[in-house]
Amino acid sequence: MTADSELAVTGEGVTAPQGFEAAGVAAGLKSTGKPDVAVVVNRGPLKAGAAVFTSNRAKANPILWSQQAIRDGVVEAVVLNSGGANCFTGSFGFQTTHQTAERAAEILQVSPGDVLVCSTGLIGTGDETFRAKVLAGTEAALAELSPDGGIAASEAIMTTDSHAKRAVVTRDGWTIGGMAKGAGMLAPGLATMLVVVTTDAVLDAKELDTALRRATAVTFDRLDSDGCMSTNDQVTLLASGASGIRPDLDEFALALTELCADLAQQLQGDAEGASHDITIQVTHAASVADAVEVGRSVARNNLFKTAIFGNDPNWGRVLAAIGTTQASFDPYAVDVSFNGVRLCSAGAPDRPRDEVDLTPRPTLVVIDLKAGDAEATILTNDLTHDYVHENSAYSS
């Protein structure tokens, strides 16, 4: 990824709202010696939380733990580690997650069931050394908690990310802040990658859950970088109520969606090996579901993605991809445009391909189905040599 293509990283992230402390430390999980354990703590007065998780049936131990812990809507803290997914590590792995929550709870003097745990890294690895480093890192991070610790926390959750992702949205008297990690295995299933979002607004757990599902449905759930769904994906939303202000729920959901969209775009811009950030807009669909299905069929089409890598506006590959869906439309009535140039009209050639310039990183593909009034946007990226190399050497 080139420096001039990076989206701006905004503010302190999770510690921008009042009532939160965070930290990030190096516990030795990464061979690079970089930070790899992060903690976000809600100091209240409210301790409300909500979360959405990967819909992959293969779930990592932290997901299994956190799905149980979130049920009462009370979250005191989130502990996150990079450098190991703690997935398919048997009962030992679940005990490691449980002990992580217990260690954090003991130090914070809260219930272990109110501590969520997140992990990211290589699947199928984990031993006594891994457990010892996670537990020691949790202790060290909790000892360094600070209202200014959001930057360090966002750096500690990175794996193949080239830079940290943070965002802040401020409204009249209340704030939302967030951090995210993710550069590969980005495909939707309620949530994508690891994300922690905080707010000092006064909202209960049920309201947070409603707003979070509205926001993720149109942001993270429509980021489809490589069609590969992780075992560890989790988006967590915490509310401290420290502002003392109760916002209108619709207003809060809109602000939350804005923040999640910002983070999703940062994740798209840092996708492994990508040279193009591709926005696929599907218009005039019979339903939103149809628009999403059509957009995702293109986002997951390797022939299309390699064409974009080669700066080839191959609209035929778009039509071939959308023809595999069950969406309601006439393939011979569809228009397809690349970067503002309509190359296909009513299923036939329109403008010459050489009128399209695909050398810039941002790439816009518009698919007009002419079947209704619904629309949806899917974010993806191209498939490059660097992506293949990075993922072929990931565990080496």
Strands laid side by side in the 20-25 sheet: 20-25, 37-42, 77-82, 115-120
Contact status, residue 81 vs residue 232, Cβ threshold 8 Å: no
Is 192 a residue of the active site?
yes
| CB-side neighbour CA atoms (13 Å) of 227 | 12
Six-digit token pair at 230? 């992780």
Query: Of 192, 198, 283, 380, which is the active-site residue?
Result: 192
- Beta-carbon contacts of 281 under 8 Å, excluding residues fewer than 6 positions away, are 295, 364, 365, 366, 367, 375, 376, 377
Mind telling me the catalytic residues?
A: 192
